[in-house]
Structure 1
Amino acid sequence: MAFNGADALTRVLIDNGIDTCFSNPGTTEMHLVAALTRDAGIANHLCLFEGVATGAADGYARMTGRPAATLLHLGPGLANGLANLHNARKAATPVLNIVGEHAQAHIAHDAPLTADIEGLARPVSKAVATLRMTGEIAQATRSMLSEIQSGEKGVGTLIVPNDVAWADAVPGNLPPVEPPQPAAPDPVAIDAAAEALKAPGALLILGSPHITRRMQELVFAIATATGARLMGEAATARLSRGGGLPLLPRIPFQIDMALDALKDTSTAVLAGARAPVAFFAYPERPSELLPTDCRRVTLCPPQGAVEAALEALADRLGVSLGPLEAPELPALPEGTITPEALGAAVANALPEGAIVADESVTNGAALQPACAAAPAHDWINNRGGSIGYSLPLALGCAAACPDRPVFAIVGDGSASYTLQALWTMARAGMNVTVIVLSNRRYRILTNEMSKIGAGTPDENSDPLMSLDNPPIDWTDLARGFGVPGERAETAEALHTAILAALAAPGPHLIEAIM
């Protein structure tokens, strides 16, 4: 079989360590499908919806630090995946979208699926390119892989016309991309942060695409030595926690709670974090959450060498790392499944090395704090705010780390967006435990309606927030996708169901009645 443009693209992916592709292809991608599946160097996962493919690629990259690929069909296929690409962009996750396009001579005929693919891609992509000639494939693909892994990492979208993919090509031999290392810590910034943290009312805010255990050991010691308060960003792309680490407090999501938590801050030292802002605009509340007279000092920019900067800051302050006070596990829960009981049930079942994709929203207030006392694990939050991310993200994490148990903890409203991920989990036999928090309504809208000054739900507006007519049967839906499902109506039953799911191979779904 002749070597063609699709083969050339695949060769560059393999040479650069891109070993996983989440796909929902169509006619214009058939040569790419053949090339990607012909070589054993790339694992391919079929996804029933493009939003699953893009979210899975995000989860894979968060856990491995290197891009996964998606294979999508023309403009409408890319459009179906945009919400989770938005989340990946906000999390600074490197993802490579490969989007098929009509053969170039066919585009002028305005066939039904013709669309402005570049226009759709730009809002969520750091880099966008359309191939025009088969001979440019290798260099263009290599350049995009370099760009999305350099500086502010992000999403790349490579558009491949069908005739470019099927045309004969000459095998190339380009060297693999070597992502640059972050710049060394700035001594001036280290000195400024060291002095700022000694001020009364100082706050150290930690952020990073991956907040490591070492970072937390350092910031807890620095906060203890200086007397400064410590908080993490409201959402983290990946947080390694548990296993004896204290709870890293987060800036609250809710506007009034956040303003209250930050009101006495005189100086904010930003370690890989951005200055916090409100999720939405609210009447008579500010968009910026820090007080207007708060001094801001940048220790390290977002995506910089955060751990190295913290090491240098600890040295500058003469801080030594001592023993940390680990939190205690909550007691096993009893009775109805409240947010507190949910946290206790998960915390007491969470195994060593677990990965948690958290989309618990209104019912999850006690979840992350309770699990801080569990064995060492990774916690992933949604930095982009577009819901329907946790099931695909968990899929991607399981593909990246097949030896680790993965949890997706998600509200029933959010889970309804991308439940097709269950089918891919079942097909691959992934060890994912899905806990759907079933309160049968978009409760966050109920909470937000009055807060934003739009009144309270009434007989006219409440139907737009309710999911109980008809109620969604999550156990039947799970079984329809090949995933065992059960319903837990008490905290004891929930804890037992989690343990049973962990003891059996493959994915499981638990509907927790809240």
Structure 2
Amino acid sequence: MYTTGTAFLEALHEAGVSYIFANLGSDHPAIIESLARAKKENKELPTVITCPHEFVALSAAHGYAQATGEPQAVMVHVECGTQNLGGAIHNASRSRVPVLIFAGASPYTQEGELTGSRNEFIHWIQDVPDQRGIVRGYTKYDNEIRTGANVKQLVYRALQIAKSDPTGPVYLMGPREAMEEEVEPMTLNNDLWEPISPSAVAPLQLEQLSNDLVSANNPLIVTSYLGRNKEAVEQLVQLSEKLAIPVIESIPHQMNFPADHSMHLGSQWNTPGQNEQLEEADLVLVIDSDVPWIQMKNKPSDHATVYYLDVDPLKEEMPLWYIPSKQFLKADSCIALKQMNQYIDDNCQLDKDVISKRWKKFSDIHHHQMKEKHRIEQRKTGVITPEYLTACIREVIDEENTIVLNEGITNYGAISNHIGLNTPGSYYASGAGSLGWNGGAALGMKLAKSNKTVVSLTGDGSYLFSVPSTVHWMANRYKIPFLTVIYNNSGWKAPKMSTLGVHPRGIANETEGFWVNFDPTANLAKIAEAAGNARPITVEDSSELKGVLEEGLKTVSEGRSVVINVTIPHVYSKEITDTGTQSANLEAELKK
């Protein structure tokens, strides 16, 4: 039989989907039967990756899409599996990651009227009024497959929407009867379902922005995810060098600008102090950033001119969001940067003396920042600081052949400032707020870039959120090994710091009552060993660290995952607060 399920799988394959990250259930007999028939007949369809937890399935598709730009499929079980996607659907939405999610639905007949009619008690229990509504706030598009007659059109349309800027997840559901329907085979021309073309800046706005950049005395660029297009990084470097414009990365979740470049002024996260360069800028160009600064703590001068350029410059899905700007430009950053570079070359007379002085000023600041970072990274006796740990990782990896993931949370700033990467496509973070992305994303990135070594840097809290038992079972089964380094402070530091940010002299601080510690500590690396034969290593002595990291990378290269559990200062220790403040206040340190 050629069913709706068969046509659905064919449509995914024809549209370029390579993998289905699947957690199958009683709603998927048509899919399972079609897959079995295809295997028997050597028919090419997307490869099914069995995922014992839905959160990991979607996180893996997230990582794959980040590394390639290509959406994959996630298959889950009715409304229960949909809800088990949990924070991963938030991550995919906020990170603007294209992915197609398919869920079955309880049968809508119960007396055998149609093939697939209800024959298990669970079909009544899992029948809910609005299954699609569970994820509607996080998807660009949702629909129900009601017949196989147009299932390919629905799949093509869903993927077209997912891949069109701003990209994001889409959701389809199909009841058993609809998926079991026998239909006539259909062929569509996939070329007619391409995503919308990336947009450019209108001529008048381009002229105004370019001229303002050229005439500014202290221009500054802030970005977070421009590096999702590797070519955009090259264009940004050209613009920066042409006008001596420094670049700050705000909560970077891509490699946006080379860390060793003279115009790179570091990254900022929940920076508690005012960034001096941001305050002095007379023009700030924000390119691809959701949160370029935090107004309560760190923002441009009220006299600065702000331009906002983004695929989603109004953040329409964020109810409270505003940064008053001279212009909001909805455009693809790579195209816009090409336009700016060409316009300036063709139309602007540059003051080389001003540009030279500006280059000298910011290259000196960059040089001093690098010296300060190096000072902070130095090994201390008896403690492994996040900065020293990150520096050791930087020194042992081969950047050209490595992908680094950052879900360090309260160590996010330490990692992004000290990992020091310069290669587009070498660094990723989730770009969102639901913890646990790191494990599944590492699997997806390794599937997408099998020739790369994937190194996942995570806190102990975000490691536990990642469902490590599922992650490492999958890594072992599908031979996709990677290295995990846990920045283990034995607790959730983030809620503690958030509380202190609002109540710095409160009772919680006085009594050390934050309810965030993980004592007694668990042997986190052993979880990965038990579930997926990963090699567990625990490090407490800083003198052993670099050798252990090198050993871990060697083991991964031989085909076995490794989890290195590194003890850093406890969430309740004074040392951890000091080192966190030290990392976050690099600008203040330099000012002194």
> Using the alignment, how far apart are the partners of 2:508 and 2:200 within structure 1?
53
Question: How large is the RMSD of aligned CA atoms in angstroms?
Answer: 3.2
Q: CA deviation at 1:224?
A: 4.2
TM-score by length of 1: 0.88
Matching of residue 271 in structure 1 with residue 270 in structure 2: no
| Offset at residue 235 of structure 1 (A) | 3.0
| Equivalent-residue separation in structure 2 for 1:271 and 1:243 (angstroms) | 17
Match of 1:111 in 2: 124
Q: Which amino acid aligns with 1:156?
A: V
Give the corresponding residue for 1:297. Answer: 307
1:133 equivalent in alignment to 2:147: yes
- Compute the displacement of 1:464 (Å): 2.0
* Alignment of 1:206 onto 2:251: no
**CA distance in 2: counterparts of 1:344 and 1:407, whole angstroms:** 14
Alpha-carbon distance change, 60 to 246 in structure 1, aligned in 2, over 3 angstroms = farther
Report deviation, 1:386: 1.1
Counterpart Cα distance in 2 of 1:287 and 1:30: 55
Q: For residues 47 and 492 of structure 1, what CA distance do their matches in structure 2 show?
A: 38
Task: Please say if 1:222 is aligned against 2:239.
Answer: yes
Judge conservation of contact 1:190–1:299 (CA < 8 Å) in 2. Answer: no
Which residue of 2 is the match for residue 47 of structure 1? Answer: 51
> What SS does the aligned partner of 2:508 have?
coil
Give the 3 Å change call, closer, same or farther, for CA 412–274 of structure 1 in structure 2. Answer: closer
Q: What SS does the aligned partner of 1:97 have? A: strand
Deviations 1:30-75 (A, max 9, x none): 3223434634431221112111011111111111111010000111
Letter in 2 for 1:193: L
**Structure 1 vs Structure 2: percent identity of aligned residues?**
19
Query: C-alpha deviations, 1:207-238, integer Å up to 9, x for none?
Result: 546345543343344334434432234232x3
Q: Which is further off, 202-211 or 22-31?
A: 202-211
Deviation at 1:93, TM superposition (A): 0.8
Deviations 1:232-263 (A, max 9, x none): 34232x32666965684465221533666633
* Structure 1 residue aligned with 2:577: none
Kindly indicate whether the alpha-carbon contact (under 8 Å) linking 1:213 and 1:241 is maintained by their aligned counterparts in 2.
no
Q: Which runs of 5+ in 1 are unaligned?
A: 279-284
**Residue equivalent to 2:440:** 392
Report how far residue 499 of structure 1 moved.
1.7
3-state SS of 1:446 partner: helix
Indicate which of 417, 426, 435 corresponds to 2:476: 426
Structure 1 residues 423-471: Cα deviation after superposition (integer angstroms, max 9, x where no partner): 1112112131011111101011111111023735369873621111x31
**1:507 and 2:561 aligned:** yes
**Secondary structure at 1:111 match in 2:** helix
Does residue 28 of structure 2 align to residue 29 of structure 1?
A: yes
Which protein has the larger Cα radius of gyration, Structure 1 or Structure 2?
Answer: 2
Does structure 1 retain, via aligned residues, the 8 Å contact 2:252–2:416? no
1:344 partnered with 2:358? no
The 1:206–1:374 alpha-carbon spacing in structure 2 relative to 1, beyond 3 Å, is: closer
Which one has the bigger helix percentage?
Answer: 2
Contact map agreement 1:354 1:405 (CA 8 A) in 2: yes
1:412 aligns with 2:460: yes
Distance change (3 Å), C-alpha of 1:511 and 1:40? farther
Post-superposition offset of 1:276:
2.9
| 1:462 is aligned to 2:472 | no
User: How far is 1:149 from its partner?
Assistant: 1.1
Name the aligned partner's letter for residue 342 of structure 2: D
Structure 1 residues 217 and 143, CA gap change in structure 2 (3 angstroms): closer
In structure 2, the gaps of 5 or more residues are 111-116, 313-329, 569-592
Change (3 A) 1:245 1:425: farther
* 2:70 is the alignment partner of 1:57: no
Q: Which amino acid is 1:15 matched to?
A: E
Aligned partner of 2:104 among 96, 100, 106: 100
Counterparts of 1:289 and 1:130, CA distance in 2: 45
Amino acid of the structure 1 residue aligned with 2:87: A
Q: Is the 8 A contact 2:436 2:462 kept in 1?
A: yes
Match of 1:477 in 2: 527
Secondary structure class of the residue paired with 1:54 = helix
| Aligned position for 2:322 | none
SS in 1 for 2:200: coil
Q: Which secondary structure state, in structure 1, belongs to the residue aligned with residue 426 of structure 2? A: strand
State the distance in 2 between where 1:114 and 1:63 align. 37
Name whichever of 339-348 and 179-188 sits farther off.
179-188
TM-score by length of 2: 0.77
Decide whether aligned partners of structure 1 residues 196 and 243 sit closer, same or farther in structure 2, where only a CA change above 3 A counts. Answer: closer
